[in-house]
Amino acid sequence: MEQLMRNFFLFLSKNKTLTKLAKKYGFKFGASRFVAGVDIEHAARKIKEINNDGFVVTIDHLGEFVDNEQEAKESADECINAIKKIADKGLDSELSLKLTSLGLDISEELVMDSLRKILDAGKQHNVTVTIDMEDYERCGKTLDIFKELRSEYENVGTVLQAYLYRTEEDLQDLNDYDPYLRIVKGAYKESPEVAFPDKKDVDENYKKLIKMNLLNGNYTAVGTHDDAIIDYVKELEKEHNIPRDQFEFQMLFGIRIELQNRLRKEGYKMRVYVPYGNDWYGYNMRRLAERPANVMFVLKGIFKK
């Protein structure tokens, strides 16, 4: 049943008509459990509070699978706007973005042009930019773009997904680039041709990748809410004397807040991924797929006046 629900929400997450309708008709964003606000002003206020509570942040302007050039350029402008806001307000925040929001499905030239502008702004204001990983179809392109930019910029990172068979090889390949990597389980619906179908195998691969990346000496952001994975990272830290400034935990805004607090109190660097904007639909559907029990929270948010 759980798997059925998961597939249902992942199917919905890619529905373009529903995405457009959700954007147009929206809902009261303060009521959303997983989104910090409708615009950068709201998000900046929320980030200030999160920073004051002792967490660092990565901000994400929601948007994906953009299919027209104007919208793609607007997304890039919004990323630069967010970087400037981080600097103006003295926020402790990085930026995360999705390449399809910058027009990956339209033209690679457009994406590279926008990314360079965003990374230049990041460089100027000391803001690191992480390229989120999207579905398998776009994984190779995303890594090629990351590698090209990594030779030009210090302030760029990306994400690897433990559910993909290819990731172990990608991780070794990226080792030459001194990469800033977030490692996650993976949030999209993928076929068993390319991804482990069983959760148990994904979890085992996740542990293997974290260990490899840490022992390679690379900075590792562990993006998970899973106690077992977090405990495993703590064991690795002890067993291999991994310095605390070589890794951090990352969790999504609104999820497992008590666990976020516990890790912070234990002295770990804890980064909260804070999305904002009106393109909330795909993001929220993937959160429901991860945990169908969240459906009640989201429905309450949608219908709340």
Q: Which residues bind ligand FAD (CB under 6 A)?
A: 132-133, 159, 161, 182, 184-188, 223-226, 250-252, 255-256, 273, 287, 290-291, 294
Nearest approach in angstroms of CB 115 to ligand FAD is 16
Cβ proximity to ligand FAD, 83 vs 221, nearer residue: 221
Cα–Cα–Cα angle for 281, 275, 284, rounded to 5 degrees: 25
Residue 34 per-residue DSSP state = S
Cβ proximity to ligand FAD, 122 vs 223, nearer residue: 223
Residues in the chain: 305
Nearest approach in angstroms of CB 163 to ligand FAD is 8
Please confirm, yes or no, whether 67 is among the known catalytic residues. no
Quote the CA–CA distance of 162 and 224 in Å, as a whole number: 11
251 has which bridge partners?
272
Beta strand residue intervals within the chain, DSSP E = 56-61, 93-97, 129-131, 156-161, 181-184, 220-223, 247-252, 270-276
Nearest approach in angstroms of CB 164 to ligand FAD is 9
Give the active site residue among 132, 135, 170, 279: 132
Cβ proximity to ligand FAD, 218 vs 250, nearer residue: 250
Pairing of strands 247-252, 156-161: unpaired
Reported as type and span, the H/E element at residue 83 is helix 69-88
Give the active site residue among 138, 182, 271, 287: 182
Cβ proximity to ligand FAD, 44 vs 159, nearer residue: 159
Cβ proximity to ligand FAD, 70 vs 266, nearer residue: 266
Structure tokens of 197?
Answer: 């179908």
For residues 179 and 150, the answer to whether their CB atoms sit within 8 Å is yes
Please confirm, yes or no, whether 33 is among the known catalytic residues. no
Residue the block writes with tokens 């210090």: 154
Nearest approach in angstroms of CB 241 to ligand FAD is 25
Nearest approach in angstroms of CB 131 to ligand FAD is 8
Residues designated as active site: 132, 182
